[in-house]
Structure 1
């Protein structure tokens, strides 16, 4: 066990090269030495043990909105930068950071409509994946992230929303631009791109909501307009904000889920052979990727009353940052946690969080990975890393784990 200083929150992001190269070397040490730790940089309590993380994300009494955090914390400062007290909270942020009753009021009809769409969407996902596969060259190396992992989630959500084919290029550009909002350390130039794309996307959603109200189609926006007409108590602004959040929250993470999965299967040919011999293992394989190399590092909560976690007292309004990545490799829960094993005995991971705020897009992300992976390896059964000895090119986006590039050859 190390006697080095405990890492700050910045050292627990891929901005730090040590963490970027191997987050678990840092997280294992933190979990062993101080599984509940107050971070002076962010002002939050950092949790890294599975039992504590799972209990917190499942606790429906804790707050999600950082406006409830104590003064001076990083979480609250980031929210206050754009906070206008004259605007209803539900018309300035999405269900990702809303608390009840607004959270439940908006999430219920949105999840109802989304899950009904996902349940019948496999043929469309298969079509989109096959189109992406057709773009992959068989005679030269290619970047799987650029040609396959990035476009599939954007095209899937565009299809669910009902984006017209002739506007798909614009929609892709807006989607890529708004994802910059996930980076708290973006440059002024990136902020300008994010704001421009965000404004264009907001205008598009409001325009489309009005169009679907006049002339419904077979898409999610029409479903939501229909639910509004039937009495679902949400405004067009609330709908626009949450459609945007669905887009931003789902695209990058599903891109990373697929990219991380392909890399892991190529690095573990025995596991890939298991999957190819028994395609029914695909669901278990996706869950193991989520546990082993999930796309998201953390999620946060705010204490709604004085409490205690792991013997550490936490007061009302204090921030809690749960490290999902650390929890998913806790040796107290997962046997041989650092081995990638698609047939391991199932125990629930926390890659999608939990409780009232469990990722609303989880069923869609799972579906996309469950379709994309088998079809990729069926089309290219001899797929290989272009340079097996090359260091992986991990992105530096804080609190996410995904590849900048994944250079492959068809074999």
Structure 2
């Protein structure tokens, strides 16, 4: 919708439906940025009546909505017309993060959101602050495994196992259960796939049940025999009087697995591909390895793993002159905001020495990604170790087009064949 406050959604120019702004659309999958740039310029607040959402793509608007603590996240509070937002309520048990019957903090509002998130975040951040040596060990082990191959799929052999093994270490999953844990992780992620096959749905439900049972057993074990891990931290916080149920713990500890693994895998994969297709930036990193933190931030801005997040209007409001009524749903384009030329100079240039990068790849406000500090550490270690070990790493077939996944609202590679 244009800036003219007198315009109504019906008067807006014809625009693509929201589902066309996902990897389900081959045009968007190949180049989302051209479509988002046109939308950001012509219709920065677009109403999709079929999906029942407003699609917001300018950085200023996205950040303002993200940091508005009065807005809602719980899809139960959305109007009946917000079919895309409310679709999650229709998913079977096991499709929600961790196979839960109840929502995680991803979809909760205060007071429940703060009640659960605050103690979990405090414990997780303490764990993340001292996890770097373990991440380095995990990354080095993955590199040892591929060193003799010469050519390998970076996604399956490196980007995928690192986040799963790291969160397993943080939670305290025993090493002899890692293979099962990886299988469950890959199964429950299918809850994010609306086009999953019957076999994938069966895997998702089976994995959700198994993961939940395993976490319940871990809670019982850690109450009897505390260990140096996040599960022990949380049962001790609970025992000290925190208002946390066992379902709160199971749901949200498992949600860390689901929400963090796919996105961190894609962050690592997207970053490697960017460096291999932008050799001048890789040369900068080789010359000054201290740029690794800035390199991760630029990857998050330039090619973030997550397309969108959402909020629900808790009051009558306007966005860029467009009226939004109470209970209407807002879909925020993190990807579109991160390439806004009003905020980022030459936004379509990948530059790891960029000075200003107020990206919104992790969302913002009260719901900013709880795993952001951990994801940054994992990506920095994974990239730094990879390029130090294989300084001549290259694409196995530079002429081959990238094969992006079709999972809606996420951007990551199916595979990335590289040679050392």
TM-score tier after normalising by the smaller chain length: over 0.9
**Aligned counterparts, 1:204-243, within 5 A:** 204-243=214-253
1:258 maps to what in 2? 268
**Aligned counterparts, 1:9-408, within 5 A:** 9-82=18-91, 92-408=102-418
2:46 is paired with a residue whose SS is strand
Q: Distance in 1 between the 2:85 and 2:302 partners?
A: 31
2:105 is paired with a residue whose SS is coil
The worse-fitting range, judged by mean Cα deviation, of 99-108 and 72-81 is 72-81
1:346 is paired with a residue whose SS is coil
1:87 maps to what in 2? none
Asked if the contact 2:312–2:327 (Cα under 8 Å) also holds between the matched residues in 1, the reply is yes
Gaps of 5+ in 1: 85-89
Give 1:222 deviation, angstroms: 0.2
Map Cα deviations across residues 144-195 of structure 1 (whole Å, 9 max, x no partner). Answer: 0010000000000000000011111100000000000111232332211111
Is the alpha carbon distance of 1:24 and 1:7 closer, same or farther for their aligned partners in structure 2, counting shifts above 3 Å? same
Q: Distance in 2 between the 1:268 and 1:159 partners?
A: 33
Q: Distance in 2 between the 1:172 and 1:4 partners?
A: 46
Give 1:139 deviation, angstroms: 4.8
What count of residue pairs does the alignment treat as equivalent?
A: 403
Give 1:83 deviation, angstroms: 8.8
Q: Distance in 1 between the 2:212 and 2:124 partners?
A: 19
Map Cα deviations across residues 107-131 of structure 1 (whole Å, 9 max, x no partner). Answer: 0110011000000111011000000
TM-score between both structures, scaled by the size of structure 2: 0.94
TM-score between both structures, scaled by the size of structure 1: 0.96
Give 1:79 deviation, angstroms: 3.4
Map Cα deviations across residues 357-376 of structure 1 (whole Å, 9 max, x no partner). Answer: 00000000000011111110
Give 1:346 deviation, angstroms: 2.0
Q: Distance in 2 between the 1:97 and 1:302 partners?
A: 11
Is the alpha carbon distance of 1:381 and 1:83 closer, same or farther for their aligned partners in structure 2, counting shifts above 3 Å? closer
